[in-house]
Each structure stands twice: as structure tokens, then as C-alpha cells.
Amino acid sequence: MQTLDRNPSLIAALQTRRTKLAALVNVPVLLWSGSSSPRNFRANTFPFRASSHFLYFAGLPLENAAICLDSGKLVLFMDEASPGSALWHGESPTRDEIAAAIGAYDAYPLAELDSQSEMATIAVQDATTRSHQARVLKRAIASADDSQGFDLALAQAIVSLRTTHDDFALAELRKAATVSIAAHKAGMAATPYARTEAAVRAAMESVIIANNMTCAYTSIVTVHGEVLHNNQYHHPMQPGDLLLADVGAEAASGWASDITRTWAVAGKFSPAQRAIYDVVLAAHDACIAAIRPGVEYRELHLLAARTIAAGLVDLGILRGQVDNLVEQDAHALFFPHGVGHLLGLDVHDMEDLGDLAGYETGRVRSDRFGLNYLRLDRPLQTGMVVTIEPGFYQVPAILQDLERRSRYQAVVDWDRLAQFADVRGIRIEDDVLVTATGSEVLTAALPTKAEAIEQLVQS
Amino acid sequence: MQTLDRNPSLIAALQTRRTKLAALVNVPVLLWSGSSSPRNFRANTFPFRASSHFLYFAGLPLENAAICLDSGKLVLFMDEASPGSALWHGESPTRDEIAAAIGAYDAYPLAELDSQSEMATIAVQDATTRSHQARVLKRAIASADDSQGFDLALAQAIVSLRTTHDDFALAELRKAATVSIAAHKAGMAATPYARTEAAVRAAMESVIIANNMTCAYTSIVTVHGEVLHNNQYHHPMQPGDLLLADVGAEAASGWASDITRTWAVAGKFSPAQRAIYDVVLAAHDACIAAIRPGVEYRELHLLAARTIAAGLVDLGILRGQVDNLVEQDAHALFFPHGVGHLLGLDVHDMEDLGDLAGYETGRVRSDRFGLNYLRLDRPLQTGMVVTIEPGFYQVPAILQDLERRSRYQAVVDWDRLAQFADVRGIRIEDDVLVTATGSEVLTAALPTKAEAIEQLVQS
């Protein structure tokens, strides 16, 4: 935690969230922030990240703290910094100063945290704090995606609040988006001078670090975009390669962004790359154009699937009727993941709760190859922020799979596909706010059109 | 893990380490690599860092793996990547390929890991793996700094091996040092264009990322060097400020580096800053000049203390006889930490074992204000790598403490000290290998002299 400015608009936003929660749950709530995870020894920790649920109601990334939420009031539990800590960590704000900064009703040392009645909680990620949760609440605490009883009721209430964003959250999401956009532009500009993926990653993350933010997730910066979660950066970049960069900043407040762009290492797309790029972009644009309250996100996914299938038919890679191709999941040979997810304090927002946030009550994941990886299946609401991230990949594990090759033998022109061998992976991803009348692309300041991307790389 | 090159010199080095271990312990040893720690949700993890003890004998940062070391032979236990993992993470080397790359005698799935007899282990940092250790060994596993019985004997054996470095380790330590040196030069060069600490940090860490390494610890890049473990980067840099940067790279193999330099934001030290800088540099140089096998590291610390005290007497800040000042810990008013520590696979090497590695058997930490923070109290041996990092700080928690002010009233010229108000914190830190005839500074390519530092900032 750095400076402690008393920010009336933060306090007001937090108070509204707490009041809304009080209307939804009828037991007191205890939420923990968590503690730092050790890396190779206890004093060498990973950077502390507070639990998102805690951040949502407490507003500050306090380490080793807990809050009790009852009838809209917040009581803070945390210890003052030890006297010796000033030597190593500098002067810290007092507990009372912190309590004032977040609009707490009262504040006590952690030792006074005691469960007087049945209280609801959500398990944090780190094991040390989870055992503290169990000790205080005098019961076993299931992992967050396996909550039961009033813990589950709390999780559902939090989902209903966090699924749409208030103005304070949106302001923070915009800050994160702005820095991510600058990071992507820096990555494009660095490409002509970079020889490895790592060098481009450095240029991008350096913008995030310089803005005193962190990465919201492990960056993907790779010439092997066909490996969907590729966290390797050692490959040299060849002039004919595409570079796929999925990099997003997280504001100090915890709010995330998530952007993917794909560009040509040489600056200019090859004709094959450009053709596929435009197919993916058409899917991206079609989905965004279709966003408005009430639209089912699953329909956006299927719209992306149809747009990609249609584009691949036009290019002669797929054969058949578009609807029929999507019905048999032929699009998923090249677009095997979902079109996006909720975005908020987590890059996959509230994924700690399993599919509770992503899936409307009563819905479960489909078994279908083309739908199984869809992370979001809800009607859109004003104030939601979702990613839209269609892609095209030539994944050897899919395309070389003999069973799949035989199943899709008739609908894929494998010879024609071979002419697109220099397109291993393309994804275009933006963060989109659902508005009352349609949508607003929070990341719109970063171009998506092929020519504009080419210009940014060559500039 | 990235590429899997079969490297005969790595295999030979690993084999030698295993053979040496076999000579020191008489029970089979099971070491775990650990698993990734979740950040805000399970799939969003911090970058995986394998246990250093595992890395020392297995050589590769394998996630969720274990090794059995018995009579100098290594048997690897790990699961093959799941078929679905190729889609998300790409093709992985097989277990047998990995086993071959590290010179394993045999390799099995994790499920076949079973304790047939009394086996020694060391607890890893992550709780998930720690409970796996307990299940396999059918007993409670104490934290690594609290080992008992044959676990303690194993820890002692590992300390005796890891305290000095073989050629393979030294080559990796040099790689990490080289990148850290480049990072510091980049930080200096970026300073004239940077407005905040964060911008300089970005320039430095960007070099580490571009070289496909990670930071060995959380960087300190601050105009408030008097906060010893300052992990804030939001302060604007003013022309009169000093910037203290303690930033070190860690090679992909896990071997660390640890460098601190302090420079003037304006490029040129003020006369007061320069005077204190030269006192700290004198301590740094004196310690390095005194390094040779057999010398007690504690004596280096006291040499630094005397050199700093003498310098402060010359500057009129302290009054009295140097030996007498050090005896009463007056130097520790301004130099309150130890002069350094072991460096290896951990930046504070083997600190997971508490003081077992840092302190010679039978020695314990001193209660003295001026010695309590000393992390290393052993005679130097050929092949050890230690840091030498004296400093001068004006820590408000120390200098404004009424009890200390009265105790040291007579030996500090507070009015004179006030003339050095623009020196909040200076530290100069290098990584030094103890050689048969003296020492080799692994980080010597980064200048320490004030003029050379000034030149790097202004260039």
C-alpha cells in the first residue's frame, strides 16, 4: 500500500456496495484480504495481491486484514505495523487512519476477530489465511468454488453485485485499459528492434511497471500463438512470423484489463495472414456490434463462430453451409476457445467462484467441443464489462488428431489450408462495457484494423 | 520450462552433487519441486519457482515433480502432461526425455511415489505440496527452518554442499550478474528522462525481462533509501534526490544476483552526498580487499562498521575513538543492517533453513543492535559467494527515537548531521566469489566509483 489519500468518492462507492450487500444477505459477513505467498523462502514473497472480494468492499489492498460487513457497516480488523517494521518498511498509516480512509465504522486488532454467530465468508487463495478463516469461524472452509449454505448465498450475492460495475470501478477499469493500450503500442514499436519474444514482452511490461501497475495475468507474447496459454518467451522472431501479444495491466486498486493484438514481425502481414486477420476482425467487430443489454453472451460466441466459419468458407478452407459447419463444431478446429469472459477485479472475473459468476443459475457448461470452453453464459446487462476475443489457430494437437481429421475430412480443404501455414495463431481482444443503448469499447484507442496495426509496428 | 537441451556438463555437475550428498546422508532423500501459487484465482498463478534444493540436484524447474536421491542415483517422479494440455500449453517433453536431460536413473508417475522406509525431506514453501509431502512420507513435515532428526541432518548436508559453488553454478551466477549489471546501467541511463521511481524500475526490470530472466527478489528503486525494504515506486524524483536501486536478476536455472547502486537523480552528487558516498565505498572496498578463505565474515561486518565510523568521525558526524564507537554500536545508527549474506540459488541463500546456512554450527545471532541483523557468521571458504553491501541511512525510526538520541547524545554531532540532510540512504552492493587467493567480484563490470556512476547517469 502506498499513499493514503482520503477519497470521498471511493468511500461513497464502497458504502453503496456495502449497503447493497446488506440487502442481499441476512447473516454477517467476514472477508479476509489474504497474505503474501512465499517464493523460494518466507521473506522473499510474490507481490501481495488482496482477495478481489475484499478489495470490492474495502477498497485498499491491506495485507493480513479482515472486514466484517453487517447491515451495511464495515468493521476493520488488522494489526498496527510493529515498531521494528518502520526500519524495514517505513512509516505506515495507523489502523485508525486506514479505517477513516475506507469509511469503516470501527477498527480493531486482528486478535479481536471472533465469530459470535453464524457468519458467511469466501475462502481466499492462500493456505495460511484459509486456516485463519477456519479458526475464527470454527468450521471447515470449502474452497471458493465449492461454497455451501450461507457461504454460497454470500457468493451469489457478491456475484449479483460484481457482475455490473459502478462508476468508481469503471474509472479504474479505464485507467488499466489506458496503460495496457500504451503497452501494446510500445510492443509494436519495439518489434523492428527486437530479436526475441522476450524483448517485446520487456517493452510492453515496462510500460505497465513505469505506470506503477502490475500485470493482471502472465503475459503471452509469442510467435507461437497456436499455444493458447503460451508463457514462453525465448523464441527468436523471424520476418515471416506473426506475434501474438495478450498483455493487460492491473491498476493498484486491483481492477484489470485484458488486450490481445496480433501483428506481423516484419511490419506487414503476408496475404495469407492478412486474409485470416480480416476474418478474425470481422468476428470481433460483429460481436461488438451485437452487444446490448439482454443479448445472450452465448449468442455472441456463436456469432463469432459463424463469422469465422463464413470467412473460412470464403477463403476455401472450410466447405459447406455456415450454420451446418458451426452445428458440427467445424469452426472449433480453428477457434477452440470461448469468445471471452467477464472482466473486473479479476481478469476472468470471479473465476475463484467456479462458474457461479460466468453461468446464469441453472446453466452448465456444454459438452460440445465448440462450446465447452465458453466461460460466460448469461444475458448481457448494462454495466457489465466483457472481453471479445475471437481467434484463429492452427493447433497441432487438434489438426493432427487422426480422429478429428477423419471426422472433419469432408469439410476441410487440407491442401488449401496448407497455403495458410504462416498463420499459426491470431487473436484480437478488446474490453467492452455494455451500455443502456449498446456498448462502449474501453480499449478502443488501440486500433484493430490491419493497416493501422502495420503502421504502429513500422512507425 | 522451455527448451530441453541435453547438456552433458549440467548432467555431470548434477551427478557430482548427488554423489557428494550420498556421502553425507545415510537415508534416502525425497525432494519436491513445489507447485504454482494462485494469485487471485486458481488459474491465475504467480510464475512458478521450483524449490532451490530441488533445483540444486535436479537442475530443471519442473513443476509438481519429486526426486528420490539414494546412493547417488536420482529417480524422477512426475506426471506426463495431460492430452488436453497440448492445446493450452503446447507440446511438452515426455517424462523420459526429461529424465534423460537430468541424468535420472529412472522415472515414474507421481502416483508411484511411496515411502518404503524412513526418508528425509525438506518442506517446500507452498502448502499444497507440503501436504503431499506429509501424505507420501506418512508423517508431519515441519517447516524447513524447524527440521528435526534426519530431515535436519539432510538440511545440514545440503548446507555443506550449497555453501560453496561448483563451476556450473558459477557460470549461472555470472550470467545472472551480467544481466543485473546491464539492468543497473539502463536504470542510470533512464534517470534523466524518468519522473518517478517506477519509470527507473521499469527501465531496469525491462532488461531482465528482455533477457528472459526474472527478478531474484522484489526490486527496491527508491528516493527513500532510508526505508531498507522499500517496495514503493510512486515517489516523484527531485533533482536533489539520491536514487537507491537494489535490483537483481535470476537466471532461468534459478541462480541469483543481487546488486545495489546509489546515484544522484541530477547526475552529480552534492558535496554532502559525495562525502558520505565515499565513506560507504571505502567500507565496501575494504571488505572486498579483506576477503580470502578463513576470514570470518563477521570480521568483515565489523570492518565495514569501523570504516563507516571512521569516515563519519572524519566528517564530524560522529565523535570519539572508532573502536569505541563500534563497540557501543554507534555506527549502527547509520548502518543498521548486516554487511551481506550468502548468494546462490536464493538471494539470501538457503534462508528457508533459518540460520542453519548463515550461522556456523554453535553460533547464534547476537543481541547487539549493531550485529543482530547479520545474516552470515561463518569463516569464508573458497567457492562461497557473498554479497558485500555496506550502507548509510538516516532512518527516522532510529534517529528520532528519544532513547537512542539520549544514549548516543555525546557521540553524534546532530547539528553537523543536519548538513547531510540530502543523504537519506546510500548502499553499494556487489557479489563476491571467495577464491583460493582472495576474491573475485562477479559484478565488477558495474562501476562503484562516484565519478563513473555520475558518468553513466549523464551519458
Which amino acid belongs to residue B264? A
Nine-digit cell string for B143: 517447516
Q: Inspect the interface and report whether the beta carbons of B41 and A352 lie closer than 8 Å.
A: yes
Q: Which of B3, B31, B40 to mutate to test the interface with A (most CBs of A within 10 A)?
A: B40
3-state DSSP call for residue B107? strand
Cell of A448: 484493430
Residue B3: closest C-alpha in chain A: A234
Interchain proximity A229–B40, CB inside 8 Å: no
Question: Which of A40, A89, A175, A227 is the best mutation test for B, with the most CBs of B within 10 A?
Answer: A40
Interatomic CA distance for residues A361 and A28, integer angstroms:
24
Closest CB to A348 among B41, B199, B230: B41
Yes or no, beta carbons of A206 and B211 under 8 Å apart: no
What's the pLDDT at B6? 79
Cβ contact, residue pair A125, B42, below 8 Å:
yes
Q: Do A90 and B227 touch (CB under 8 A)?
A: yes
What pLDDT score was predicted for residue A3? 58
Question: In degrees, to the nearest 5, what angle opens at C-alpha A313 toward C-alphas A272 and A329?
Answer: 110
Task: Enter the C-alpha cell of residue A165.
Answer: 460495475
Contact between chains at A348 and B397 (C-beta distance less than 8 A) = no
Across the interface, of B194, B206, B211, the residue whose CB is closest to A203 is B206
CA distance B291 to chain A (A): 27
* Cross-chain CB nearest to B37 (options A42, A43, A46): A46
What pLDDT score was predicted for residue A1? 46
Three-class DSSP category at B277: helix
B206/A211 touch (CB, cutoff 8 Å), yes or no: no
Query: Contact B89/A347, CB-based, under 8 Å?
Result: no
Q: Where are the beta strands (DSSP E) in B96-219?
A: 106-108, 214-215
Do A43 and B203 count as a contact with CB atoms less than 8 A apart? no
| d(C-alpha A363, C-alpha A355), whole Å | 9
Chain A residues whose beta carbon lies within 8 Å of the beta carbon of residue B44: 217-218, 346-348, 351
Which chain B residues are Cβ-neighbours of A397 within 8 angstroms?
A: 83, 86-87, 91
Grouping H, G, I as helix, E, B as strand and the rest as coil, residue B44 is: strand
Residues of chain B found within 8 Å of residue A396, distances taken between Cβ atoms = 86, 91
Q: Which residue of B has its CA nearest to A219?
A: B47
Q: What is the pLDDT of residue A152?
A: 97
CATH of A8-162, one of 2.40.170.20, 1.20.1060.10, 3.40.350.10, 3.10.50.40: 3.40.350.10
The minimum CA-CA distance between B126 and chain A, rounded to whole Å, is 7
Backbone φ and ψ for B35, nearest 5 degrees, come out as -130, 170
Instruction: Give the one of A208, A211, A229 whose C-beta lies nearest to B89's C-beta.
Output: A229
Asked if B86's CB is within 8 angstroms of A395's CB, the reply is: yes
Q: Contact A51/B40, CB-based, under 8 Å? A: yes
* Cβ within 8 Å, pair B212-A228: no
CATH topology of domain B167-458: Creatine Amidinohydrolase (3.90.230)
pLDDT of residue A198: 98
Which residues from chain A sit within 8 angstroms of residue B395, using beta carbons? 86-87
In this prediction, residue B5 carries a pLDDT of 75
Model confidence over B35-73: pLDDT tens digits?
A: 999 999 999 999 999 999 999 999 999 999 999 999 999
User: Are B49 and A40 in contact (CB < 8 Å)?
Assistant: yes
- The whole-angstrom distance between residue B29's C-alpha and the CA centroid of its chain comes to 26
Interface test mutation site (partner A, options B4, B31, B39, max chain A beta carbons within 10 A) = B39
Domain map (residue ranges) of chain B: 8-162, 167-458
Cβ-based contacts under 8 A for chains A and B: 181
Instruction: For A71-123, write each residue's pLDDT tens digit.
Output: 999 999 999 988 778 778 888 899 999 999 999 999 999 999 987 789 999 99
pLDDT range class, residue B1, cuts 50, 70, 90: very low
Under a CB-based contact definition with an 8 Å cutoff, are residues B257 and B433 in contact? no
Digit-coded pLDDT (tens) for B348-404: 999 999 999 999 999 999 998 888 889 999 999 999 999 999 999 999 999 999 999
Residues of chain B with Cβ-Cβ distance to A204 below 8 Å are none
Identity of the residue in A42, A209, A230 whose CB atom sits nearest the CB atom of B201: A209
| Closest residue to A127, CB basis, from B127, B207, B233 | B127
Residues of A with Cβ-Cβ distance to B336 under 8 angstroms: 87
> B12 to chain A nearest CA, in Å?
25
- A350 to chain B: which residues are within 8 Å by CB? 41
Distance CA B141, CA B334 (A): 41
CA dist A311 to A25, A103, A178, A320, Å? 48, 54, 31, 12
Nearest to A210 among B44, B126, B199 (CB): B199
Among A52, A229, A398, whose Cβ lies nearest the Cβ of B40? A52
State whether B127 and A125 contact (CB < 8 Å): no
Query: What pLDDT score was predicted for residue B269?
Result: 98
What 3 state SS string does A288-334 have? HHHCCCCCEHHHHHHHHHHHHHHHHHHCCCECCCHHHHHHCCHHHHC
- Average pLDDT, 10 consecutive residues per value, chain A (459 residues): 74 97 96 97 97 98 97 97 82 93 97 89 96 95 94 98 97 98 98 97 98 98 94 95 98 98 98 98 98 98 98 98 97 97 98 97 90 94 98 95 94 97 98 98 98 94
What distance in Å separates residue A83's CA from the closest CA in chain B?
8
Instruction: Determine the residue of chain B that is closest to A254 in CA distance.
Output: B40
Q: What is the pLDDT of residue B3?
A: 58
Spatial separation of the C-alpha atoms in residues A52 and A123, rounded to whole Å: 11
C-alpha A331/C-alpha A325 separation (Å) is 7
CA-atom Rg of chain A in angstroms:
24
The shortest CB-CB distance from A227 to any of B89, B206, B229 is to B89
- Asked if A125 lies within 8 A of B398 by C-beta distance, the reply is no
